[in-house]
């Protein structure tokens, strides 16, 4: 008896993970990718002697990747290595205050006390509650489909619902943080975690206070070779398990017959399959591959997450005050989000994130130089004059860097590549260039996020950052796990009916 066939559309991180899981479950898996490389946003490039990770730069929850290798019965050490980052992030505030955060909770609390004047106990209590919230609620809702009835009758779900407190649902993250800390700096720092899924802390629910648990309690890590090594290791693992990749092959249509998926069209050719999993943006999948107008309209009404404006700078100088991860905060954080989500433009005082992997591996930049990944949060592409916005943003970024680092950074930029929301939309196929699909700017956002399966078309599934449970590497990997579990369950039901 021949193996069932599965097609994955897109080789982003969730597509790779889905391919591995389905191959392990006995499927003949083919991945069709429009680009000439795997990884989607999780890619890299080199220019002028500098090496840059192009997309995600924070690595948390390595257990999600370890579990994939365990599932595939392959030794992870042959593919992938990583280590803990003790100093998590360097923070700079406009009032001159600075803060280093650490993987050690007690050391972290001490730094908040000494450098910001915040109560160390307040920090420990906050992180303890974040851990409890994640363990009681997060693990349940992030590991199961919210669109399956049986999920809601699981005893852990019933317990999770009982543990949810009013501030988590009906107050904003900012309101929650304001009630927990006395210093504006601590509030601003913990507000920032809303941006981890492209949301606005002044609108998103207090439930997002569980996000710091992933970084501050569970720790941050650095993958040897940079973030691209995650893509490379999963790609290598997928091929080892027999997955076949077709690069430079864009899927034009998803085929259906008798309310069931039957394959895809690529380059005018019909390629038949029992299962199709789209790792592409769910909006674009419904609009262009399925021509499903009703569903497309429903998804278009969901508020998009933020996008990003990124400058990849080769810096011909080393800065000892900076680390792997760095944040230079704006003076008026609320005003920044007002510009991004309501005015659909950029603030003239943006918060700046700088990632420098040459701090970990010196060969990522020439001697005595650094590779800077400089990012600010941006609105989605709504047809703005991005040429003008990029020009003004660069000026604002350089002014802030000059002020805080007490230098003229423009003298040290010898290489530059720019990525704006338009290019993000073009290169990654994301609707309007949003990084995480829909935002979490409402208390019911998680429930409105598109499902990992289609109820009208059997055999059609979805994974990646634009469907449940959300964007970012950990959640994309969880979406692959949920999707593969749904396919396995549905396949078993189908066989029982025969």
Position of tokens 């690069």?
247
Instruction: State yes or no: pLDDT of 154 exceeds 70.
Output: no
List CB contacts of 339: < 8 A, sequence separation 6 or more. Answer: 345, 346, 347, 379
pLDDT exceeds 60 at position 343: yes
Q: Render 70-83 in DSSP notation, one character per residue.
A: HHTT--GGGT--EE
Q: What is the mean pLDDT of residues 275-299?
A: 96
pLDDT of 156: 60
Token readout for 175 is 């309101």
Pairing of strands 260-266, 275-278: unpaired
pLDDT classification of 369: cutoffs 50, 70, 90: very high
Q: Is residue 498 pLDDT above 60, yes or no? A: no
CA distance 471 to 18: 15
Residue ranges, CATH 3.50.50.60, the chain: 5-41+229-302+440-497
Which of these ranges, 68-72, 85-89, 351-355, 494-498, has the smallest mean pLDDT?
Answer: 494-498
Question: Tens digit of pLDDT for each residue in 26-59?
Answer: 999 999 999 999 999 999 999 999 999 999 999 9
Q: Are 439 and 200 in contact (CB under 8 A)?
A: yes
Q: Give residue-wise pLDDT tens across range 63-80.
A: 999 999 999 999 999 999
What are 155's strand-pairing partners?
none
pLDDT > 80? residue 494: no
The CATH 1.10.405 domain(s) of the chain lie at: 120-215
pLDDT tens string 373-408 = 999 999 999 999 999 999 999 999 999 999 999 999
> For 258, what's the count of Cα atoms within 13 Å in the CB-facing half-sphere?
1
Q: Which CATH architecture has domain 120-215?
A: Orthogonal Bundle (1.10)
Specify the DSSP element, H or E, that contains 394: helix 386-405
pLDDT digits (tens, 9 = 90+) for 155-193: 665 555 556 655 566 699 999 999 999 999 999 999 999
Question: What was the pLDDT predicted at 153?
Answer: 60
Q: Is residue 152 predicted with pLDDT exceeding 60? A: no
pLDDT reading at 297 higher than 60 = yes
Which of the four pLDDT bands, split at 50, 70 and 90, describes residue 137?
Answer: confident
For range 119-135, the mean pLDDT: 94
Q: What percent of the chain has pLDDT over 90?
A: 87
Ordered DSSP codes for 187-250: HHHHHGGGGGGT--TTTSBGGGGGHHIIIIIS-EEEETT-THHHHHHHHHHHHHTT-EEETT--
List the one residue out of 130, 134, 448, 102 whose CA is nearest residue 282: 448
CATH class given for the domain over 5-41+229-302+440-497: alpha beta
């Amino acid at each position: 008896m021949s193996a069932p066939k599965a097609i994955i559309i897109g080789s982003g991180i969730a597509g790779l993970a889905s391919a591995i899981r389905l191959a392990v479950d006995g499927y003949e898996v083919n991945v069709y990718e429009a680009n000439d490389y795997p990884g989607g946003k999780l890619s890299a490039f080199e220019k002028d002697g500098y090496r840059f990770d192009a997309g995600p730069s924070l690595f948390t929850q390595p257990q999600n990747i370890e579990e994939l290798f365990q599932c595939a019965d392959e030794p992870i050490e042959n593919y992938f290595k990583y280590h803990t980052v003790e100093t998590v992030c360097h923070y700079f505030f406009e009032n001159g205050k600075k803060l280093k955060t650490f993987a050690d909770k007690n050391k972290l609390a001490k730094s908040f006390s000494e450098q910001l004047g915040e109560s160390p106990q307040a920090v420990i209590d906050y992180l303890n509650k974040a851990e409890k919230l994640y363990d009681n609620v997060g693990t349940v809702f992030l590991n199961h489909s919210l669109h399956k009835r049986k999920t809601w009758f699981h005893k852990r779900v019933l317990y999770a619902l009982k543990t949810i407190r009013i501030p988590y649902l009906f107050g904003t993250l900012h309101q929650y943080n304001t009630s927990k800390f006395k210093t504006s700096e601590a509030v601003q720092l913990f507000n920032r975690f809303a941006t981890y899924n492209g949301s606005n802390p002044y609108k998103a629910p207090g439930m997002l206070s569980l996000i710091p648990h992933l970084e501050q309690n569970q720790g941050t890590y650095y993958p040897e070779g940079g973030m691209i090594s995650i893509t490379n290791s999963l790609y290598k693992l997928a091929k080892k398990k027999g997955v076949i990749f077709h690069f430079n092959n864009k899927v034009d249509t998803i085929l259906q017959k008798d309310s069931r998926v039957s394959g895809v069209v690529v380059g005018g050719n019909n390629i038949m399959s029992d299962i199709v999993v789209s790792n592409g943006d769910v909006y674009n999948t419904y609009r262009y591959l399925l021509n499903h107008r009703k569903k497309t309209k429903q998804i278009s009404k969901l508020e998009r997450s933020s996008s990003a404006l990124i400058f990849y700078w080769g810096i011909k100088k080393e800065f000892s005050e900076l680390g792997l991860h760095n944040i230079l905060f704006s003076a008026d954080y609320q005003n920044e989000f007002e510009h991004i989500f309501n005015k659909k433009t950029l603030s003239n005082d943006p918060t700046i994130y700088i990632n420098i992997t040459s701090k970990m591996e010196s060969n990522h930049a020439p001697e005595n130089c650094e590779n800077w990944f400089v990012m600010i949060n941006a609105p989605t592409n709504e047809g703005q004059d991005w040429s003008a916005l990029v020009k003004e943003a660069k000026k604002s970024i350089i002014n802030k860097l000059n002020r805080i680092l007490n230098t003229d950074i423009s003298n040290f930029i010898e290489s530059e590549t720019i990525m704006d929301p338009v290019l993000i939309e073009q290169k990654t196929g994301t609707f309007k260039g949003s990084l995480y699909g829909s935002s979490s700017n409402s208390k019911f956002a998680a429930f409105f996020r598109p499902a990992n399966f289609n109820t009208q078309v059997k055999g059609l599934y979805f994974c990646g950052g634009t469907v449940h449970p959300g964007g970012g590497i950990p959640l994309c990997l969880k979406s692959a796990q949920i999707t593969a579990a749904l396919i396995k369950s549905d396949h078993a039901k189908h066989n029982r009916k025969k």
